[in-house]
Structure 1
Amino acid sequence: MSIASDNNLLWVPPDISDLLTVSVQGDADDNTVQGMLIINGAASQWLNGTLDDYSYFELLNHFGIDPFRFVGEVEEHMALLMR
């Protein structure tokens, strides 16, 4: 399910970078948790302008996340908020 929907139940976090964070299950191994921390840190850097688009998208791709789909859902969410 996409985070962007037309059901009028749009969630807006206190910190916009929360829309780009990922989480792992509680029983995830250390490497998976470390990957989550790297991705979440990179999201903050990307939004602050200290990490360029190419590097952020490559990082997402490296960890198996389709960057265009992932960021696209956030863009859809924000577009619905601004309507």
Structure 2
Amino acid sequence: MSIASDNNLLWVPPDIGDLLTVSVNGQADDSTAQGMLVINGAASQWLAGTIDDYTYFELLDHYGIDPLRFVGEVEEHMALLMR
């Protein structure tokens, strides 16, 4: 299931950038938590146009997130919102 179709409900965050936010659980080590901060900061920069697609996607990949799948789910969610 993707974030866009879970339970046939659409979730609209207060800030569209929240769709690109990642989180870690409370048991995560310091390096994992730091990675979360880096990824979330990069998402804001990417949406603002201060970093390019290549840089953002490389960063996601570096931290073990499939960039095409991750961003694709956000795009799918946005397409459903616009229908």
**TM-score, normalised via structure 2 length:** 0.96
Which runs of 5 or more structure 2 residues have no equivalent in the other structure?
A: none
The answer for the alignment partner of 1:37 in structure 2 is 37
Q: Tell me how far apart the structure 2 counterparts of residues 66 and 35 of structure 1 sit (CA, whole Å).
A: 15
Which runs of 5 or more structure 1 residues have no equivalent in the other structure?
A: none
1:19-76 per-residue CA deviation (whole Å, 9 max, x = no partner) reads 0000001010000000000000000000000010000000000000000000000000
Task: State the percentage of identical aligned residues.
Answer: 85
Deviating 4+ runs (over 6 angstroms): none
The answer for the alignment partner of 1:71 in structure 2 is 71
**TM-score, normalised via structure 1 length:** 0.96
The answer for the alignment partner of 1:25 in structure 2 is 25
In the TM superposition, residue 5 of structure 1 has moved relative to its aligned partner by 1.4
Q: Tell me how far apart the structure 1 counterparts of residues 4 and 16 of structure 2 sit (CA, whole Å).
A: 14
Matched, 1:5 2:33: no
Q: Quick one: which amino acid aligns to residue 37 of structure 1?
A: L
The answer for the alignment partner of 2:48 in structure 1 is 48
Q: Quick one: which amino acid aligns to residue 17 of structure 2?
A: S
